[in-house]
A and B are shown apart, each in its own frame.
Chain A
């Protein structure tokens, strides 16, 4: 099989899929030209991510990594969410094929982009260093 059972499960039964009308932060990364776009919505209450949703255009692993990433940050503090690494997402999915690792990078970036959007909208000061890699570079991701 191309993918692990966990990837197939999260792809076929994605958790937290859909839009959120009253999101506190929205992050969108990737581009259609290269074949993956993730859009992540977060609801924040007292510094805790109380709800999270996503929409993804992309391959099986793009959908699975989005789903897994939302599960991993739901109910966690913003600081914990910002700690989420693509590696942790890959491990939680029991691995990804090498040429699909970039999907997990997108998932990490989507979470960060949503948090940054929340900070910006609420004028919360933050360490810019945290987000230096957050904007997915179109040229870099051919």
Chain B
């Protein structure tokens, strides 16, 4: 059996999005900036996509900027708010310790340029509170940037409340909503969001395309200079097939959000219930405030990469919190931020499912994971020491 359980990494493209992309390549190949009919036809297609996406987010079409993806949107939002703040003498930013690296590395860059960053503690449950955000605010705070849902553990932050305290103090609020969009209801107005980043390939759209939402009045500084595309804020001829494919994919998931959420969270709950039965295992992140499809566990006495590879051999595509596979040997910064010790953070497993998965697939996962954990523990000297009491169990 082949089971794809790594939807937080990326998703397969939906048939509707794929068909839309082919249609655009065939019939909407014009440059939207051209004055002739073929160009204007493409411009209309582009506008249609912008309108669809704006409606899904409850935003205005003039607040939607197409980018190359979530990372670019994150970079532009944070750097723009920082630049705006700097012009007013404000050089303090509030964020969390477990943001995506597109945010963390941008913040590191700003730190080198003299900005001061407050990284809020995310506690053992992977959540911050609006009160904690408020308490960290200063006269010179230029931006609050907090992710909507965490990519490794799936916890959902109280975005609306955080947005409200930012609005109250007049501090711009950005949220990296890459993991949330298309999976839970996001409303930029009700959620008090000033900037939002999203990426199409996380909701069955194409890769290499995303959106930066910037509320009216929020100033944007360009990362890419050139033509006057995207209201002069992002140069480069628009990738109509990708943009239109993204719009179709987003509309599809937004139209079916409730049923998808219900189906996927029921499957997720089976995963949580069954994997929790493995001795000395722990679910990472709050049990309730989480995405419908993301589950992250730590298993004591084993290492994540070997678990992943053995799951892969059984046809299960999953991922590890451990950055082992991505070239770094350090354990996940997210799990360390939750306070997991290094040796436990090494033994993590992320399963991210969505509405393409079936219960049969989930049952297959819950059958295989315990077998492999057991096998790896049997050949692990750490597990032997834990069992003999020579080493203390942490979880």
Contacts and interface: CB of A to CB of B under 8 A. Distances in A.
Contact of B324 (A56, A57, A59, A63): A59
Interface string B348-383: 000000000000000000000000000000011111
Interface string A7-22: 0100110100111000
B306 A59 contact: yes
Contact of B382 (A8, A19, A37): A37
A2 interface: yes
A35 B302 contact: no
Given A17-B379, A35-B324, A55 B306 contact: no
A62 B380 contact: no
B342 A59 contact: no
B384 A56 contact: no
A37 B383 CA distance: 11
Contacts, number: 69
A58 B379 contact: no
B306 A63 contact: yes
B306 A14 contact: no
A18 B384 CA distance: 11
Given A11-B309, A35-B303, A35-B322, A55 B346 contact: no
Given A2-B325, A60-B306, A32 B343 contact: yes
A35 B331 contact: yes
A96 to B, nearest CB: 13
Given A35-B346, A57-B301, A58-B303, A12 B310 contact: yes
A140 B302 CA distance: 22
A57 B384 CA distance: 10
B329 A56 contact: no
A38 B341 CA distance: 20
A32 B331 CA distance: 11
Sorting the interface of chain A by its residue count into under 10, 10 to 19, 20 to 34 or 35 or more gives 20 to 34
A34 B331 CA distance: 8
Contacts of A35: 303, 322, 324, 329, 331, 342-343, 346
Given A35-B322, A35-B324, A99-B329, A56 B309 contact: no
B305 interface: yes
B135 interface: no
Contacts of B322: 35
A34 B329 contact: yes
A59 B343 contact: no
A17 B375 CA distance: 11
Interface string B330-349: 11000000000111001000
A55 B329 contact: no
A60 B309 contact: yes
B310 A59 contact: no
B382 A32 contact: yes
Contacts of A121: none
Interface in B76-95: none
Nearest to A97: B327
Contacts of A34: 329, 342
Contacts of A12: 309-310, 313
B346 A56 contact: no
Contacts of B325: 2
A28 interface: yes
A62 B329 CA distance: 12
Nearest to B331: A35
A132 interface: no
Contacts of B305: 59-60
Contacts of A62: 303, 306
B269 to A, nearest CB: 30
A56 B309 CA distance: 15
B303 A55 contact: no
A95 to B, nearest CB: 16
A55 B384 contact: yes
A128 interface: no
B372 to A, nearest CB: 11
A39 interface: yes
Given A33-B342, A37-B380, A58-B306, 12 more contacts: A12-B309, A18-B379, A33-B343, A35-B346, A37-B382, A38-B381, A55-B380, A57-B303, A57-B382, A63-B379, A99-B329, A142-B330
Top 5 closest A-B pairs, CB basis? A32-B343, A59-B305, A39-B381, A57-B380, A57-B382
Interface of B: 301-306, 309-310, 313, 322, 324-325, 327-331, 341-343, 346, 379-384
